Amino acid sequence: MTDGELIQAIRQGQSHAFDLLYQRHREAVFRYACALSGRIMDGEDLLQEAFLGMIRNIKSIRSTHSVLPYLLRSVRSRHIDQLRAFSNRAKAIGEQDFFSEDPHPESITMEGERLTILFNALAELSDVHRDAVLLKIYGGLSYSEIALLQEVPQATVRSRYRSGLGHLKKILGKGV
Amino acid sequence: MTDQEFKSWLEDQVPKSPSAEFDQKLKSQAQGLLSPQSSTFKFKRILLVVAIILVVLTFLPLVINLYLGRDKPNEWNQLKAFRGGRFEVHDAAKYEFTSPYSRLQLTEGEVRAIPSDYPLEVAFSGGFLNIEKGRCSVNIQRVKDKSMNQGPTSASPIVSFVTVSILTGMTWLDFDSELHLGEPLSLSPKDVVSFNLTENGRLQNFLINGAELAELSLDESLHFLGRIVSAENGKPIPKARVHWAKDLSPKNDGKVIYLSDGKGRRGRYFRSPFEKGIRDTGLWFPFDAQLGIEATTVGTAGYFKLRKPKKGESLIIEADGYKAYLSQVIQKVDKIESGKTYKLSRYHTIEGQVALINGKPIHPAAEVRFYVTHKIPATEKTARWSVDVNEEGRFNIATDDVKEVQLLTSVTGCEDQRLNIQLNKDQKATPLKLILAPRPATFGSIVTTDGKPLQGVDITIREFDGSSSREKRKRGVKTNSKGLFISNVSSTSLELETFKEGFKVWKGKADPNQSLNITLQPAIKQIVEGLVVDSKGHPVKNLGVSATRKAGGDLAFGKVEIESQTQEDGRFKFELYPGRYLMTLHPKYSKEVTLYGAPYLTIVPWSKENRLSLPFSIGTVEVTSDKKLPVLRVNLPEMGSIQGFETSPAQGRPLKQSNIGLLSYGIRDWGTVIAYLKTDLQGKFVFENLAPGRYGLSKDQHIQLIEVESGSNEVFLDTKTAVVAGSVQRDGKPIGVSKVIFGRWEKGELTHTTYCRTNAQGEFEHTKVPLGRVSVLISDQRVTGTTMMTKLDLKENVRGLKIDWPKVQIKIKAQKSLPKNSRVKVKFLEFDGLVLKRLAQPHYLTAGTAQSDDQLNYVLKGVSPGRYLVYFDGEGIDERIEIAVEDQDVTLQLENSSD
């Protein structure tokens, strides 16, 4: 069954179709969300919102091929919304409180620590380079799919990915 | 590592999948959304659309009527009431009420509404009805209750709440708008409801079929009913408040205690199950908002309706001007009687009037503040509230269950006065005549050239020390609606300066206690131009510039701020009315932080990394109406930058990123966060575009002082620390929950501060105290009002440090007359060779305050050896004395200043 057929089935309220679709894409969406947000908990939140959002907007999904780019785009826009809300909150509580923010308990675990290091290194990349790397490695998209998503030629995606990866390697070089 | 290896390494860094529980949760949520029964979002959307349509349908005709219906004032005669209801109009005369739904008419203060087929619908019309001639509106609405669901076909619709509000011209009358009917009221199509509206907007004589509401019968089986009358004349008391209050003590035998401020607002005290004493739940709030207590008002005839009581509750009745009624705690609900009449007696009131000693009335522009203080019965606490005084100086104090009150008067132009008043419950107190002694004040009036009084003129009063030109004090005052002003002064040499937009500045000398009549000349705006260049002389564009005018000594008072921006050529321009303005520069998008005369210029342009910045004060300019100012030229200094490292190279690099804050360091502005950022993975951080000067760097609780020069500066955060643990005690007793502040000193400068708190046993442990010469301050302002110090030469961990509060006292005797209870403050100057002026935070600097006894003796206890500054915190004495304290008590004699 293609994604398009599954979407059709979900529209008719068939929950097993959703289960199939979720099983198919959850790993890519989750990994992309984790790498993007730098926290496993945030990754899970984004994953949840992306899939539940998909159900809510199921009528407007036109994709007949793969629904993955749609889900990844949804994760990215929700992540940006969260950042905006967070920065507003930071303004509201004042900078002083910012200093006293304790490390997130999750970052104490090995898994969390690894993710934090990666996240900090990724933060050094420019937005477009980071996005290309994340979509390719964790989202599992092809160059052509990323090109469609970013609305740029395939060659540009390819070069962004390569240079992003190189830069990342340089940043992480000592730690690897 | 090849690209492929690196890619697979990267893949390994991110977890593969969410937890199984998460999967399960998500799937069940998805199922909920997919199942047709619970597709709530669809339903909600439909509801929303329906609601919007309903709102539009309801208000569109009203809006149309508002804007188009004005030309047809007589159409109301033919209009139908809302959904079948109909109002009939009698004696059309003074006002005409029209609406698409219903008609009402106000004739000589009477509104008469005759419901027709479905009166409920009329009463339920909700929205405002528009009225021609004076644009009145009437709003009749129902309180929500179950009978509403009966719909318009119900045979006996019920009205239980009526609100009437009137809009005349463009102003809402402050309207006595609520009329609560004690019992739900049945209306039939033949019933006639009428009520009068008095001139001051009160609702009177609410009649149904000509009978007053009081005659309605009340159903006692459903409710707890009663009637409230005055104990003196038996008349019903309108607008009383009735509550069921639950006592919170564990056994239900505690007493709820109330205190009134005479305005029907109460302080509530009760015993809580968790505390032994009586707990203050917050003073002076509206009574009916607390503890989930049911409240209702009574109708004009004094009836009230409550739900049936529950066990453990007490009945409380309050009415303005009357003593509150508090019943016994109800133990058996069946035995509580309904339908009783409650008689309330009036408060014990003290009436009085104030006048000046020479028989003159209080100045009309004077600020009058009366405070009543008394002990709260059965507690050690005192309550304090303010009393209103009318224009003639008359006041009325209502108290309840209190034997003695203390009255404090504070009136501009008069000496403060304290008065103890004994209250005798049985006798009516004779009216008080308060005589206030005049005190030096400056007063007068301000008018325009055509003699009209000018309201809201900002007046800055500068007081000078004797004949010298040293400014002693600055005050601010505004003229009232009659153009009058008055302000206390404490010097005979005064200079006044006015500011009012559109008028020239008046500046001149004034004598206290002689009326000053000022006429202000009109003025036009002047152009003020300026230019901002950097250290190389290049213009700086896109920099925010503001001109701020602050009247008087008060920063929040009469503040006017005008903003501009530098152009491509670095120039900016303002159009300002005559007056003094403080010009400041601030980078765009910056958060504003006020620097009170900080000695260093600081500019931090906004960027992604450092988000905040300080404004830079250009200085004060004086705009006059006759002289054009030269172009202001602002030369920015050459900026510096900090290349910082979280640790020195020898310590290795840190494992994770941390937050670093950049703090201001000025005498009066210390520790304000200018900017903050995260270090990179190597622990490095960079702050750019800093003006040369002193700053603090903060990490966690550490603050390190740094000096920034023009160009690049390299800084290492010194984070070598040790543990300091110990206890603080006074006379062998621990001092709990006080702040222990550690300050590290280097070459006479404070370079770090950090703090912790003691626990209830007076013990403390700080695990990260910087090594070196460290002073320890114990700040326990809440309990003792004193701060004390000790010192350490910290090289390694210190445990078991015992700090004993010193026993040395400073005794001060003031010789001349000072107000009783005046305060003296003592500040640290020096401690063990450390100049504490550098410890710029006032909180750390204050060693203590003391209040005088009746003989003007002040005693400051627990002072550690050192040098101190003693001064009075207030008026009357202008003496600042530096003293040295060793290991013996110090006695000081102080005299009043020249006035």
pLDDT tens digits, residue range B139-155?
A: 333 333 333 333 332 32
Residues B79 and B197 placed together within one structural domain of the fold:
yes
A157 in a structural domain:
yes
Regarding whether B290 and B260 lie in a shared domain, the answer is yes
B339 and B259 in a common domain: yes
Q: What is the 3-state secondary structure (H, E, C) of B22-58?
A: HHHHHHHHHHHHHCHHHCHHHHHHHHHHHHHHHHHHH
Do residue A120 and residue B659 have CB atoms under 8 angstroms apart? no
Question: Could you tell me if residue B158 is inside a domain?
Answer: yes
- φ/ψ of residue B97, rounded to 5: -100, 125
A92 CB within 8 Å of a chain B CB: no
Distance to chain B for A5, nearest Cα, Å: 16
Which of B16, B17, B33 has the most A C-beta neighbours within 10 Å, making it the best mutation to test the interface with A?
B33
Chain B: residue whose CA lies nearest to A110: B13
pLDDT band at B177 (very low <50, low <70, confident <90, very high): very low
Answer yes or no: do A173 and A145 share one domain: yes
Question: Any idea what the CATH number is for the domain that residue A162 is in?
Answer: 1.10.10.10
DSSP secondary structure string for all residues of B99-141: -SS--B-EETTEEEE---S-HHHHHT--SPEEEESS--EE---
Report which of B769, B642, B763, B622 is spatially closest to residue B710, judged by C-alpha positions: B642
Residue of B nearest to A27 (CA): B17
Residues A161 and A90 in one domain: no
Q: Are residues B200 and B64 in the same domain?
A: yes
Together in a domain, A85 and A158: no
**Do A77 and A141 fall within a single domain?**
no
B556 pLDDT band, cuts 50/70/90, is: very low
A128 and A99 share a domain? no
Give a yes or no: residue B73 inside a domain.
yes
* Structural tokens at position B419: 């008065």
B612 touches chain A (CB under 8 A): yes
Which CATH number belongs to the domain containing residue A16 in this structure? 1.10.1740.10
Answer whether A45 touches B (CB < 8 Å): no
pLDDT of residue B188: 43
Asked if the Cβ–Cβ distance from A169 to B700 is below 8 Å, we say no
pLDDT in tens, B762-799: 889 888 888 888 888 887 655 444 566 778 888 889 99
Q: How many domains does chain A have?
A: 2
Asked whether residue B787 is assigned to any structural domain, the reply reads yes
* Domains held by chain B: number: 8
Looking at the fold, whether A96 and A16 belong to one and the same domain comes out as yes
Q: Which of B804, B827, B850 lies at the terminal end of a domain, its last residue?
A: B804
Is the domain of A161 the same as that of A74? no
Token pair recorded at residue B233: 């004349």
User: Where in the sequence is the domain holding A143, given as residue range(s)?
Assistant: 124-176
B485: confidence class by pLDDT, cuts 50, 70, 90? very high
A93 interfacial to chain B (CB closer than 8 Å): no
Query: Does A40 contact chain B (CB < 8 Å)?
Result: yes
Q: Are residues B69 and B202 in the same domain?
A: yes
Query: Are A10 and B34 a contacting pair at CB < 8 A?
Result: yes
Same domain, B506 and B588: no
> Cβ of A15 and B34 within 8 Å?
yes
Q: Are residues B866 and B763 both part of a single domain?
A: no
Q: Which of A97-101, B322-326, B588-592 has the highest mean pLDDT?
A: B322-326
A155 Cα to chain B: minimum distance (Å): 19
Q: How far is B461 from chain A (nearest CA, A)?
A: 36
What is the ipTM, given to two decimal places?
0.83
Range of the domain at B758: 721-804
Query: Are residue B703 and residue B613 in the same domain, yes or no?
Result: no
Q: Is B6 on the interface with A (CB under 8 A)?
A: yes
In a domain, A113, yes or no: no
pLDDT at B221: 54
Cα separation of the two ends of chain B: 86
Work out how many CB contacts closer than 8 A connect A with B. 98
The pair of three-digit structure tokens given for residue B30, joined into one six-digit string: 């998805």
Q: Which residue has the tokens 């809580």?
A: B272
Residue B24 falls within a domain, yes or no?
A: no
Q: At B420, which CATH number?
A: 2.60.40.1120
Same domain, B408 and B550: no
Percentage of chain B lying above the pLDDT 90 cut: 3
pLDDT tens for each residue of B44-87: 778 888 888 888 877 776 565 444 433 333 322 222 222 222 33
| Residue from A169, A171, A174 whose CB has the most chain B CBs within 10 Å, to mutate | A169
Question: Which of the given ranges, B91-100, B125-134, B309-318, B440-449, has the highest pLDDT on average?
Answer: B440-449
Which ranges of B751-849 does DSSP label H, i.e. alpha helix?
842-845
CA separation for the pair B662, B693 (Å, rounded)? 12
* Residues B453 and B385 grouped into a single domain: no
**Nearest residue in chain A measured CA to CA from B36:** A13
Q: Does B17 touch chain A (CB under 8 A)?
A: yes
Out of B417, B436, B455, pick the residue that ends a domain.
Answer: B436
In a domain, A109, yes or no: no
Residue A114 counted as domain residue:
no
| Interface contact B14, partner A, CB < 8 A | yes
Q: Tens of pLDDT along B254-280?
A: 444 443 434 444 444 443 333 333 333
Q: What is the pLDDT of residue B586?
A: 65
Does residue A51 form part of some domain?
A: yes
Domain assignment present for A65: yes
Asked whether the beta carbons of residue A118 and residue B18 sit closer than 8 angstroms, the reply is: no
Q: How confident is the model at residue B447 (pLDDT cuts 50, 70, 90)?
A: very high
Same domain, A24 and A90: yes
Q: How confident is the model at residue B811 (pLDDT cuts 50, 70, 90)?
A: confident
Residue B305 has pLDDT above 80, yes or no: no
Identify which has the larger pLDDT, B411 or B148: B411
Lowest mean pLDDT among A54-63, B48-57, B190-199: B190-199
Q: Is B656 on the interface with A (CB under 8 A)?
A: yes
Of A30, A51, A99, the CB nearest to B30: A51
Q: How far is CA B821 from the centre of its chain?
A: 27
Chain A CB contacts of B661 under 8 Å are 95, 99
CA distance A130 to A161: 8
Chain A residues within 8 A of B29 when measuring between CB atoms: 48, 52
User: Are B629 and B507 members of one domain?
Assistant: no
Task: For residues B190 and B128, state if they share a domain.
Answer: yes
| pLDDT reported for residue B445 | 94
Are B36 and A138 a contacting pair at CB < 8 A? Answer: no
Query: For position B617, what pLDDT does the model report?
Result: 55
- B407 by Cβ neighbours in 10 Å (0-12 / 13-18 / 19+) ranks as buried
Q: Are B807 and B885 in contact (CB under 8 A)?
A: no
In a domain, B37, yes or no: no
What pLDDT is recorded for position B539?
Answer: 83
Query: What residues of chain A lie within 8 A of the CB of B9, using their CB?
Result: 176
**A148 assigned to some structural domain:** yes
Check CB contact under 8 Å for B10 and A56: no
Q: Is the minimum CB–CB distance between A116 and chain B shorter than 8 Å?
A: yes
Mean pLDDT across chain B, nearest whole number? 65
Whether residue B885 is predicted with pLDDT greater than 80 in this model: the reply is yes
Final residue belonging to a domain, choices B389, B411, B436: B436
DSSP letters of A49-107?
Answer: HHHHHHHHTGGG---SS-SHHHHHHHHHHHHHHHHHHHHHHHHHH-HHHHHTPPPPGGG
Q: A66 with A137, same domain? A: no
> Residue B899: inside a domain, yes or no?
no
Residues B3-29: what's their mean pLDDT? 82
Q: Do A34 and A92 fall into the same domain?
A: yes
Pick the residue of B34, B680, B756 with the most A CBs within 10 A to test the interface with A by mutation: B34
pTM above 0.80, yes or no: no
pLDDT at B519 over 90: yes
Q: Are residues A55 and A8 in the same domain?
A: yes
Return the bridge partners of B395, or none. Answer: B352, B389
pLDDT band at A153 (very low <50, low <70, confident <90, very high): confident
Which positions in chain A touch B663 (Cβ < 8 Å)? none
Q: Are residues A94 and A145 in the same domain?
A: no
